[in-house]
């Protein structure tokens, strides 16, 4: 796959959205800021165009982004949900991440807009740019190109996704174009103060306690190049931590000097181990996660293992060791 894959040009997607009367927008399970920002932002845009818009997520509303306009409209898709003219999935690398079966996803017209490396197309129309730092950046640029109306509320949603997926403009895919897109959203009225306060300057007591436990349990291996931490389901339950509050914790481990790769293993209620990977310079997280059926980005990816915690940890760290030998000169 090339770095930029477009199965269908963006004008075909624009026409499909313009021709539709009812549109359903989906984001991946356990949505992060980019997924929920793109979803709520596009919903605002399409409603201004006079469309009937429904928004769905199979794992519910992420409380971390409750301040974003339209969040209360989010609900899971069911067999009783009204059938739309178009279904559109945002920030979703494959159908499994959407949390729907092929039969449930099928419809009159399906569309995907995404930026994940290793994307597996699952819609009629697919627009995937893996060089983009965020799906919200793609969505903002397309709306600008198409001449679609972007209100202050929509701009706030889209800027939230750009901020979170670029690590506040720190990650390597951040480019001059990224800043240009963010600046344009600011001219549309994006509320940067609200994003700063709710996303970067506000945390629950439960998340704070979880972060403390994470620090205390962290281990640094392979000459300090790999940081590993575990979160048990019992710990999550005892602290009352919501799933979306775990997002970003693995990045805390990566910030330690000398660490190239951080690994966070979290035990789910099902007994599966959810693995989050982050790297600084040369470890390809997408490739490493792909060995276990996962994926994502070069510097950020994840997977799930149906193994006990200790075994999952051993398997992951041993594979990680081989990636440390691939350090770029």
Residue 182 pLDDT class (50, 70, 90 cuts)? very high
As a whole number of Å, the end-to-end CA separation of the chain is: 25
* Helix/strand number for the chain, H first, E second: 13, 12
pLDDT-based confidence at residue 1 (cuts at 50, 70, 90): very low
Angle at 192 between CA 186 and CA 194, to 5 degrees: 140
Q: In whole angstroms, how far apart are CA 231 and each of 33, 263, 275, 276, 299?
A: 22, 11, 10, 11, 21
Comparing CA positions, the residue from 12, 4, 29 lying closest to residue 109 is 12
- pTM over the 0.85 mark: no
pLDDT in tens, 70-96: 999 999 999 999 999 999 999 999 999
Rounded to whole angstroms, how far apart are CA atoms 72 and 67?
10
Domains in the chain with CATH codes: 10-200 (3.90.1640.10), 205-328 (3.10.310.30)
pLDDT at 34 over 50: yes
| Position 248 pLDDT exceeds 90 | no
Q: Residue 317's CB: how many other CB atoms inside 10 A?
A: 17
Residue 326 — pLDDT band, cuts 50, 70, 90?
low
pLDDT tier for residue 327 given thresholds of 50, 70 and 90: low
**pLDDT at residue number 62:** 87
Instruction: Give the model's pLDDT for residue 204.
Output: 84
pLDDT in tens, 125-181: 999 998 999 999 999 999 999 999 999 999 999 999 999 999 899 888 999 999 999
Per-residue pLDDT, 296: 83
């Amino acid at each position: 796959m090339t770095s930029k894959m477009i199965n269908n040009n963006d004008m075909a997607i624009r026409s499909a959205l313009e021709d539709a009367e009812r549109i359903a927008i989906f984001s991946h399970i356990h949505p992060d800021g980019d997924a929920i920002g793109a979803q709520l932002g596009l919903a605002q845009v399409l409603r201004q165009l006079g469309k009937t818009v429904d928004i769905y997520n199979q794992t519910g509303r992420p409380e971390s982004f409750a301040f974003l306009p339209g969040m209360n409209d989010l609900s899971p898709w069911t067999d009783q949900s009204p059938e739309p003219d178009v279904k559109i999935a945002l920030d979703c690398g494959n159908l499994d991440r959407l949390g729907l079966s092929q039969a449930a996803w099928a419809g009159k017209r399906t569309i995907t807009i995404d930026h994940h490396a290793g994307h597996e197309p699952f819609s009629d129309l697919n627009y995937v740019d893996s060089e983009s730092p965020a799906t919200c950046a793609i969505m903002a640029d397309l709306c600008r190109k198409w001449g679609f109306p972007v209100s202050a509320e929509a701009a706030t949603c889209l800027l939230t996704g750009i901020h979170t997926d670029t690590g506040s403009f720190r990650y390597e895919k951040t480019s001059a174009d990224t800043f240009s897109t963010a600046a344009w959203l600011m001219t549309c009225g994006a509320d940067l103060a609200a994003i700063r306060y709710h996303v970067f300057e506000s945390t629950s007591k439960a998340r704070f306690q979880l972060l403390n436990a994470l620090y205390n349990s962290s281990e640094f291996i392979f000459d300090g190049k790999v940081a590993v931490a575990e979160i048990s389901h019992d710990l999550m339950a005892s602290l009352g931590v919501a799933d979306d509050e775990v997002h970003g914790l693995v990045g805390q481990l990566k910030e330690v000097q000398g660490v190239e790769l951080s690994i966070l293993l979290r035990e789910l209620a099902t007994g599966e181990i959810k693995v989050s990977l982050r790297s600084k310079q040369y470890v390809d997280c997408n490739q490493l996660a792909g060995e276990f059926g996962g994926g994502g980005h070069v510097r950020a990816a994840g997977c799930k293992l149906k193994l006990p915690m200790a075994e999952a940890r051993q398997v992951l760290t041993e594979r990680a060791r081989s990636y440390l030998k691939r350090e770029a000169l």
